[in-house]
Amino acid sequence: MKAEKIILNKERDVSLTAYLQDVEGEFGFAKRPAMLVIPGGGYAMCSDREADPVAAAYLKAGYQTFILRYTCTPKGKWPLPMEDYEQAMALIEARADEWHLDKTKIAVVGFSAGGHLAACAATVAEHKPAAAVLIYPAILKDICDMCQPGMPYPNEHVTAETCPCFLAAARDDRTVNIKNALLMELALAEKGVAFESHIYSYGGHGFSTGED
């Protein structure tokens, strides 16, 4: 495996870290699926516990894995995080052959505010992922406006073209109310978009992969 850190914007500390595994040989295939990890942090930081530990889990599952550290306050506000995502995804797509990626299987996973950005990727982005994993995502007006006023509310932008989604959250989350995930699920259901979800009874907020 090799690691490569690419600076997307030095002034705003925006970077894309790539963890790339071998193909061919005993693996028996030429390309791997890819997962773009988008940490949370209220758009004020990018959480470390929702970055490399998550990437490691997808590496173990056989993915080429990328971590996006996007623009956070005070260095910038929306729509800069969305522009960072578009730049990162465009780069991943452009280097797909070099990085041995299956272009049809590039997905995103986002946590909390990163879940909001991943949900925006699934609904309003130019470079849409093949699938989106939304973990305790910020979706609704109250929490989105608390992070940064003016951001889109992803459940209002779901269409039949939205990619398949998987959602996970905890009923006892005191930071991002469970209604965020539930109303996103309802929007997906109303538009006929494939989705699955797991709502834990206990877990709170920020449980990342769920491992200690």
pTM across the whole model:
0.97
- Encoded tokens for 172: 């006892």
Domain ranges of the chain: 2-154
Closest residue by Cα to residue 167 from 143, 138, 133, 131:
133
Closest by CA to 38, choosing from 47, 26, 27, is 47
For 2-154, which CATH superfamily applies?
Alpha/Beta hydrolase fold, catalytic domain (3.40.50.1820)
C-alpha 40/C-alpha 135 separation (Å) is: 9
Statement: residue 108 has pLDDT above 90: yes
pLDDT in tens, 149-189: 999 999 999 999 999 999 999 999 999 999 999 999 999 99
Burial 6-41 (b: 16+ CB within 10 A, else e): eebbeebebbbbbbbeeeeeeeeeebbbbbbbbbbb
Is residue 49 classed as helix, strand or coil in its secondary structure? helix
- Per-residue pLDDT tens over the stretch 117-138: 999 999 999 999 999 999 999 9
- Which residues does residue 101 pair with via DSSP β-bridges, in sequence order? 32
Under DSSP, is residue 180 helix (H, G, I), strand (E, B) or coil?
A: helix
- Residue 130 and residue 108: Cα distance in Å, rounded? 8
Average pLDDT value for the chain: 97
The span from the CA of 43 to the CA of 120, in Å, is 14
